[in-house]
Amino acid sequence: MVREQSIESFYSRLRESALASASSTPLLIFPSTSDVDSLCALKIIGRVLESDSVRYACYPVSSFKEIHKYAGPNLGASSDEPITILLVNWGCHRDLRKVLEIGPSARVFVVDSHRPIHLHNLSDRNDRVVVLYTKDDEHQADLAYDFDISALANAGDLNGDDEIEDKSDSEDENDSESEEEDGGGFQGTRKRRRVSQETEGDPVKLFRKLKKEYYFMGTFHGKPSGCLMYELSHSLRKNTNELLWLACVALTDQFVHERLTDERYHAGVMELEQHINSSGNLDTITSVTLKDGTKVTAPDTSRISYEDEPRLMLLQEWNLFDSMLCSSYIATKLKTWSDNGIKKMQLLLARMGFAREECKQKFQYMSVEIKRRMKDMFEQYLPEFGLTDFYYRGFLLLHGYGSRVSAADVVHGVTALLESSVESDGSSASKQFGVAYDALSFNKLEKLEIGMKQAIKVQRSILRQGSSAITKKGSIRSGSKFRWVKLEDSADTKVLCHPQALTKFGYFLMDALREKGARMKPLVCACYTQERDKVLMVGVCGKPRLGAVQGNAFGIAFRSAAEETGAEYFHELFESSWIVLDSVAVNSFMIRLTEKLL
């Protein structure tokens, strides 16, 4: 098996399996180093396991094969030592059993928000892999299936023989053949209609069609792993405010990196608001009686609150002026890279009555008056400039009277820490993971500040590169199905040559293009590494919308195009729309990709 539908039974199976193998090895946890959600989920599940005295060893990984470096021979088929593995926020979109060569005595548990889940991982016959995939998650997903996934997954094994290895091989061949037939993912929608018309023909054919439909929907994201793990800690009565905050950060991570629809974000926010209310964050001020009897009001050490937050990045670490200048939302709407845009922004500030000197002051030291009036003023004047949804519901962490950190800023800061490795090899990624792990603690705000400073650098590079791509003619090339842009030859590539940063850059460009009135098309960003021998490619498909029929379809197309070029490529990153290529192969790759997505 297996698909596990309830979080509690998933955890009890995990614990049982871990205790059964505890005589020889601890539970091995492999969190993904590529997003904040995985960090949050790891911290929460770690806390739960600790309170149950389950020993574990945790090795951050950034690609599929890295796991073998740490797991040793026990994972493979030859060993009969029982071993339990937990993958946090990666892995379920590939056939784990095949890709990781999992032996019969190993059990792999997966908590992952990446969709679609590989059907072999969900199949009841595959008892080495246990995937947590709740019914709620399936029903609330951004993209809905109109068929039963479990049935489809199980059907996969029914028409094959018992040798699953052989069968899956031939199936994969079928997959790639059919990809070639219809040339990539963008035709999935047409297929879907045809499938529903074709009533119960050959069951094998029907199965193939449904499967194609399932995979060609493209990639998207399910419920954040951090939130799932918080639900677990809640149901086990092990939830604390700190864990709740991590769940808030996990949800905000998906929001900041545009991995979920607004509707689902609001649903998630409401759920977490209820948790916040019920865990005593409401009684804002408690009074403390000193030794001599005087009563002093003192705020709780730290509490979580929710408020309408402006779409301004890293305000606490920055100043109002620069934050407005660089934040993707305002920058793309007002085109703050042009003289005209700056004038507009200054006009806006002037109309609101904020002195320019004050706005350039570090936000912490900006006049209290402005801070107080900020929200009213923004809401009054911004619509004149076409900025209507400037405020969104977000979470805040308050420490006493002094510091307030918004969850979005934490996400920006921690992501920047995760991606500020000097070299791109795995070892420094795991080091950065450690730094980010510390920065996410309640009491290590100074490390978070370093991350926020780095995030500011990233955002400035995005603005610089984004505006030059927009203003310079010919730097964004347009195909019939997608656009693409190449980043090379600048100091900024060093900062932007990380998947999440490059994705942010992609979203910035798409927003800017939309403001220019261009037709919305998916975008491929390519960024050369410092040494210019490798290229990182990221496919961006725009913010997910409710009722969309198509997720990010670049994954399959990337892989088959890269295979055809015959050059060396690295598609083992945890998001299938991320790929690393040899720089010589870029042109032929792009040609093939264009053909695939015609």
Partner 1 sequence: MYGKKGSELVRELASSEPGQLSAFNNDLFAQVIEECTGHLLHLGPLIRKIEQIKKIEEVKKLNNQELEESDKATLKAHNSGALVHHLSLLRNKRCLMAYVYNRAEAIRSLGWAIDRVLPEEIEEKLSSSEKEYFKNHAASLQSYMSELDLDLAVDMVPPKDPYIKVRVLEDIGNVVLSDQSANLACHAILFLRRTDAEHYISQGLMEELNG
Exposed / middle / buried, residue 503 (Cβ in 10 Å: 0-12, 13-18, 19+): buried
Is the Cβ of residue 80 or residue 173 nearer to partner 1 in the bound state?
Answer: 80
245 contacts 304 by C-beta, under 8 angstroms: yes
**Shortest distance in whole angstroms from residue 64 CB to partner 1:** 17
CA dihedral 231, 236, 238, 244 (to 10 degrees): 10
- Residues in touch with partner 1 (CB under 8 A): 22-26, 46, 49-50, 53-60, 69-72, 427, 430-431, 433-434, 437, 441-444
The distance of closest approach from Cβ of residue 300 to partner 1 in the complex, given in angstroms and rounded to an integer, is 17
d(CA 121, CA 114) in angstroms, rounded, equals 13
Instruction: State the residue for tokens 């703050």.
Output: 336
Least distance CB 444 / partner 1 (angstroms): 7
Nearer of residues 74 and 415 to partner 1, judged by Cβ? 74
Strand 56-58, strand 27-31: pairing: parallel
Environment class of 372 (CB within 10 Å of its CB; exposed 0-12, middle 13-18, buried 19+): exposed
Nearer to partner 1, 15 or 125 (CB): 15
In 3D space, the residue among 248, 302, 238 whose CA is nearest the CA of residue 270 turns out to be 248
Write down the least CB distance from residue 109 to partner 1, Å: 17
What's the closest the beta carbon of residue 49 comes to partner 1, in angstroms? 7
**Nearer Cβ to partner 1 (59/570):** 59
Give min distance, CB of 33 to partner 1, in A.
Answer: 10
DSSP 585: G
How near is the Cβ of 359 to partner 1 at its closest, in Å? Answer: 36
C-alpha 161 chain-centroid distance: 37
What interhelical angle do 407-418 and 445-471 show, nearest 10? 80
Q: 3-state DSSP call for residue 523?
A: strand
Give the integer Cα–Cα distance in Å for 568 and 563: 8
- Closest CB to partner 1 among residues 281, 432: 432
**Smallest separation (angstroms) from partner 1 to the CB of 450:** 17
Contact 458, 489 (CB under 8 A): no
| Angstrom distance (rounded) from CA 206 to CA 425 | 44
Residues 229 and 46: their CA atoms lie apart, in Å, by: 10
Q: How far is the CB of 9 from partner 1 (least distance, A)?
A: 23
Residue 55 or 494 with smaller CB distance to partner 1: 55
One DSSP character per residue, 67-127 reads HHHHHGGGGSSS--S-EEEEEES--TTS-HHHHTT--TTEEEEEE--EESPPHHHH-TT-T
Using a 10 angstrom Cβ sphere, with 0-12 exposed, 13-18 middle and 19 or more buried, the burial of residue 357 is exposed
Whichever of 68 and 464 has its CB closer to partner 1, that residue is 68
Residue number with CB closer to partner 1 (45 or 152) = 45
CB of 113 to partner 1, least distance (A): 21
Nearer to partner 1, 42 or 131 (CB): 42
Report the residue number, 43 or 115, with the smaller CB distance to partner 1. Answer: 43
Of 10, 7, 24, 195, which Cα lies nearest the Cα of 105? 24
Q: Are 330 and 311 in contact (CB under 8 A)?
A: yes
Query: CB-wise, 55 or 362, nearer to partner 1?
Result: 55
Q: How far is the CB of 314 from partner 1 (least distance, A)?
A: 23
Exposure of 566 in the CB half-sphere (CA atoms within 13 A): 0
CB of 455 to partner 1, least distance (A): 22
What are the beta bridge partners of residue 131?
3, 110
Residue 195's nearest CA partner among 140, 155, 145 is 145
Q: Which is nearer to partner 1, 451 or 522 (CB)?
A: 451
